[in-house]
Amino acid sequence: MQIKSAEFIKGAAKPVGYPPGDQPEIAFAGRSNVGKSSLINVLVNRRGLVRTSSTPGRTQMLNFFEVNQEFMLVDLPGFGFAKVPVAVKNAWGAMARTYLENRSNLKAVILLFDIRRVPRGEELQLLDWLEELNIPTIPVITKVDKISKNRRSAQIRPILEATGLPQDAFSFFSAHTREGREDVLQRIEMALSSEDQEIEEAGHDAE
Ligand SMILES: Nc1nc2c(ncn2[C@@H]2O[C@H](COP(=O)(O)OP(=O)(O)O)[C@@H](O)[C@H]2O)c(=O)[nH]1
Ligand SMILES: [Mg+2]
């Protein structure tokens, strides 16, 4: 996929503030600091489009970015940062769940996992919700530059165990080396075109 343009549209906490859902959309979810904003910046080749590592947990909003004037990328609020007020922590679940339940133009959620952490709590909760709501999920293990390649398989074993997903379900990504950029872009492209496929299949059945 060629990235021709990327621009910030708006931030919103509630559905009334979301931009119109007239374009297919891909959302990014994961813990605070896992690298959501960095991944988006690398994907669209824009170093500063999404602000990275501002005080984790403070940006309790969904941020919408339009790419190629064709589709939207959404940076969901992070969770799991210890030093935020309880009220902010509790708001995360409602905000994420409301978005996931109501966004009919949502094509897939990219769920990020830090290669150095065992997923727990909200990460597994999110995975459950995505399954329950039938939302295609693109799991990405990020910050892979932190671990040498020959230790990778052993390192990710706890992630596979906790999520119950096989290794080949995951994309591996590093914002530093840009490893995995093409792979994630390809999966996004496939997710964006999924409706067309369904229509084709439906047409096929009718023959
Ligand atoms: N080594 C390494 N650091 C990363 C990577 N991605 C993000 N980071 C760093 O992790 C911190 C949090 O990244 P950010 O994108 O703001 O995470 P977010 O809170 O999920 O949006 C920043 O200091 C980034 O520079 C990566 O692939 N490799
Ligand atoms: Mg961020």
Q: In this predicted model, what pLDDT tens digit does every residue of 123-173 receive, in sequence order?
A: 999 999 999 999 999 999 999 999 999 999 999 999 999 999 999 999 999
Mean pLDDT of 6-25: 95
Between 118 and 197, the more confident residue is 118
Supply the residue whose CA is at minimum distance from atom 7 of ligand 1: 35
Residue 25 backbone dihedrals phi, psi, to 5 degrees = -135, 145
Check residue 207 and give its pLDDT: 45
CA distance 153 to 28: 24
Check residue 152 and give its pLDDT: 95
Mean pLDDT of the chain: 89
47 Cβ closer than 6 Å to some ligand 1 atom: no
The closest-lying atom of ligand 1 relative to the alpha carbon of residue 31 is 20
Q: In this predicted model, what pLDDT tens digit does every residue of 74-117 receive, in sequence order?
A: 999 888 766 666 766 678 888 999 999 999 999 999 999 999 99
The answer to whether 135 and 34 are in contact (CB under 8 A) is: no
**Percent of residues, the chain, with pLDDT higher than 90:** 74
Task: Give one DSSP letter per residue of the chain, joined into a string.
Answer: -----EEEEEEESSGGGSPP--S-EEEEE-BTTSSHHHHHHHHTT-TTSS--SSSTT---SEEEEEETTTEEEEEPPPB--TTS-HHHHHHHHHHHHHHHHH-TTEEEEEEEEETTS---THHHHHHHHHHHTT--EEEEEE-GGGS-GGGHHHHHHHHHHHHT--GGG-EE--TTT-TTHHHHHHHHHHHHTHHHHHHHHHHHHH-
Question: What separation in Å is there between the alpha carbon of 8 and the centre of ligand 1?
Answer: 19
145 Cβ closer than 6 Å to some ligand 1 atom: yes
Phi-psi label, residue 37: left if phi above 0, alpha if psi -120 to 50, beta otherwise: alpha
Q: In this predicted model, what pLDDT tens digit does every residue of 69-81 receive, in sequence order?
A: 999 999 998 887 6
Q: Grade residue 179 by pLDDT with cuts at 50, 70 and 90.
A: very high
Measured between its terminal Cα atoms, the distance across the chain in Å is 32
Check residue 141 and give its pLDDT: 98
Supply the residue whose CA is at minimum distance from atom 1 of ligand 1: 143
**Percent of residues, the chain, with pLDDT higher than 70:** 86
Question: What separation in Å is there between the alpha carbon of 200 and the centre of ligand 1?
Answer: 39
The residue assigned the tokens 């727990």 is 120
Question: What separation in Å is there between the alpha carbon of 109 and the centre of ligand 2?
Answer: 15
CA distance 178 to 182: 9
Which structural domains are found in the chain, ordered by start?
Answer: 6-206 (3.40.50.300)
Check residue 92 and give its pLDDT: 82
Question: What separation in Å is there between the alpha carbon of 88 and the centre of ligand 1?
Answer: 21
The closest-lying atom of ligand 1 relative to the alpha carbon of residue 146 is 1
Residues that place a CB less than 5 A from ion ligand 2: 36-37
Q: In this predicted model, what pLDDT tens digit does every residue of 42-86 receive, in sequence order?
A: 999 988 888 776 655 455 789 999 999 999 999 998 887 666 667
| Ligand positioned closest to the Cα atom of 61 | 2
Q: Grade residue 206 by pLDDT with cuts at 50, 70 and 90.
A: very low
Task: Determine how many CB atoms are found less than 10 A away from the CB of residue 179.
Answer: 17
The answer to whether 5 and 88 are in contact (CB under 8 A) is: no
Question: What separation in Å is there between the alpha carbon of 36 and the centre of ligand 1?
Answer: 7
